[in-house]
Amino acid sequence: MSENPLRRLHEFGQSFWWDSLGRAFLRDGTIARLRDEDDMRGITSNPSIFQAALSGDDYDDEIARLAKKGFDHEEIFWELAVQDIREACDLLAGVYERSGGADGFVSLEVDPRLAYDMETTVKEVDRLWEWVDRPNLMVKVPATAEGMEAIRRSLEKGRNINVTLLFGRGAYRQVMEAYLQALEARLEQGLPLERVASVASFFVSRLDTLVDSRLEEVGSERALALRGKAAVANAKLAYQDFLEVFDGPRWEALKAAGARVQRPLWASTSTKNPAYPDTLYVDPLIGRDTVNTLPTVTVEAYRDHGDPAPDRVLQDVEASSRDLHGIEELGVSILDATDQLLREGVEKFEKSFDELLAALKKKVEAVR
């Protein structure tokens, strides 16, 4: 068991979280096995994950029961989601306590239709926080311009926040600034900092998918040689931003008051291009104070042939900078790509949520 590559990640300062959730996994022992055998230390969910979970028949009896009580399809979704999140939080409560509040979190995303509505997002964070009523809940808020202020205000209230749909380093800087401002506001008010937790979910593989397509349009030998380089390079430089921000007098004052860093979380880590190694977005990004949230296919691949080693995220940083510079020189803008990916990410989650609600509505109508 000690040789399990997934378990070894924590030796090198990285927490493995699982990017999946569903009623069956809660009840059949899957989550408990991942926790105990693979040292899984957290769970993330999103509208696409819930859409997949609800597409089967695991929830049909509960849907029928709630429908007959008069709940509409949207209310039923939140009832089912909160129940799943609570059960997952309880399964990871021991991890949360043993880690001193560093791990053991389960993430639930706000309604994705609120991505550009700051005021309602803050209210939705409050609603979900109070409804789930678990200290190891993280509420996911997308890193849109409107989301930044919602993130800051929610953190200031002491809500644990998973900042999602991060692609660009500029947005990441804004997220870290929002986190520091929230902690400073709490400190000024005499509020505790110890159990305020946050991660910044930096999406990785999607950047390669988009940038590779643009490099192929350029078509030169140099352009084709840079395929598969952008995502890891962007993440490695983002980690350098993290090291810079969480250092120095400003951070040390907060740390002395009990604050913990806002960890970068590598998301979207399954390999989309079958020509690339299936652990491409895991091994190179191992580092202290990081999280990697792995979908099931990547969990299985890494358990089988992962190659963990310390501080890989600190290696080849200059080469990463050169790769990104080279991509820019070819006329492929990383900023343009990350802006597009944010827009598309919001649209994708909205679409999944709309499809999920439409499918639920049909099930509700069938039992009434």
Helices first, then strands: H and E counts in the chain:
17, 8
Among residues 68, 69, 123, 140, which one is catalytic?
Answer: 140
pLDDT of residue 367: 86
Q: What count of other Cβ atoms lies within 10 Å of the Cβ of residue 319? A: 12
- Tell me the CATH number at 338: 3.20.20.70
Structural domain tally of the chain?
1
Element (H, E) at 253: helix 249-256
Element (H, E) at 107: strand 105-109
pLDDT of residue 298: 97
- Give exposure, 161-173, as e/b (b: 16+ Cβ within 10 Å): bbbbbbbbbebbe
Q: What is the mean pLDDT of each run of 10 residues along the chain (368 residues)?
A: 86 98 95 98 94 90 95 96 98 98 98 97 98 98 97 98 98 98 98 97 97 98 98 98 98 98 97 96 98 98 97 98 98 98 96 94 89
Give, in order, the Cα–Cα distances in Å from 211 to each of 137, 208, 239, 305.
34, 5, 20, 27
pLDDT of residue 368: 75
Domain hosting 67: range is: 5-367
Q: Is 362 a catalytic residue?
A: no
User: How far is Cα 206 from Cα 268, in angstroms, rounded to an integer?
Assistant: 7
Beta strands in 238-339 (DSSP E): 263-267, 290-294
pLDDT of residue 2: 53
This prediction has a pTM of 0.97
User: How far is Cα 73 from Cα 78, in angstroms, rounded to an integer?
Assistant: 9
